[in-house]
Structure 1
Amino acid sequence: MGVAIRTAGEGDRERVVHLLHEAFRDDPVSRWVFPDAAHREERHPRLMAAFADIVFAEGRVDITEDGAACALWLSVPATDEHTGGDPAEDDGPVQLREAVDPDNVRVELVGRLTAGIHPAGRAHEYLWMIAVAPERQGEGLGGALVGSVLDRCDEEGLPAYLEASNERSRALYARLGFGDLGRPLELPDGPRMWPMWREPGAGRAATGA
């Protein structure tokens, strides 16, 4: 039986934020941004809410019909590879830090660093985040959510891009046809993030993620 997926609306915001918090609260990058567990429990939901609001406004949030998993996508237009904006001049990460955790420079830094490795040039679909409720992981929900967009990418000849924040998700994306794009991003005194790119039509296998 297939996984029923729909586009989330504003009425799904609370559920989406909860999913993101539950799925990423112990992720290596989240632990790096908020090293103290108690502080992370307080501030991490604010960061996830900020991410969700950006994508609700500028992209698309897909959610399974049962509310057990969601994926945040942005459609990135083609840009001139030689005249792209300087991430250091983007005040978005500053605004994010001020809204989420004003004294925590890592909130801003992770935004700047990921923006700095984001590929310019070709239009593509950007998988910002995907979250599956911890008790539902291993049922194929993540693969179904990503696969529904990858099918459209294949039909339209669009590549896709993401940054994997841990080895488990990196392995899932590799099974879906993504490959490493250059060297991993080394967060200062922290974990790695792997930029990954998928050409349209890249093969992908069924997955239990």
Structure 2
Amino acid sequence: MAHDDSRFTRRTTMRTGAVAAGLLALGGAGAGTAAAQTTVTGGGGALQAAIDAADEGDTLVIGDDETYDPVVVGVADLTIETGNDPVIEGAGGTGAAVSVDADGVTLSGLTVTNPGGLLGIKVEPDIDDATIVRNTVEEVGPTGRFGVTGIVVGQGDHDDITIVNNAIRNLDQETTDDSGFPTVNGILFDADNDDPETITDVTVNNNVIEGLESDASHRWGSWSSTPSTG
């Protein structure tokens, strides 16, 4: 199913500052509130703080070129976007630099890195309606074990996953004695071989994947699943 990019600017919002979300009232008293747009600046933990303070349906706009700590996006229907050049940098290890852990999240225009880490962007298991567009995922790995991956969709059931117009590059994996799967993946749908679940309504296209290196082997650049270990 093709997706119209107009969805990324579909919300009527107003800007109210760097972290605190502003609300735009609709109609008369008691009519409720619309989504808010918040500009985030300052780097470090400011983006996670803004996510934690956001409400469902809000938009966070990163308004500078600073480096931000890894984030977990646990607010439904939240959009994170930028017209600047900030970097979200992972902490290394087996975690992701950006973890999508709520339905309806949109990530647009971000640069995501995770030097010495396993994952760039991860859609957590059983999350639906994730939209990952026009992002750059680069400089991930090496970790010496498992499969370094730019964008991964975790195990479980998923519906309406869109991964379009991203650049994934310069991912690296190296072998160690306990390396497990010292491999590299551009985009990975991580199936459970014993209970593979169901993935429906998926759009993956126009992604540029380059500069994947492993001293053991290369995996599919744009679509793959976990190999059997039996």
TM-score by length of 2: 0.25
The structure with the largest helix share of the pair is 1
Ranked by relative contact order (alpha carbons within 8 Å, sequence separation 6 or more), the top structure is 1
The structure with the largest strand share of the pair is 2
TM-score by length of 1: 0.27
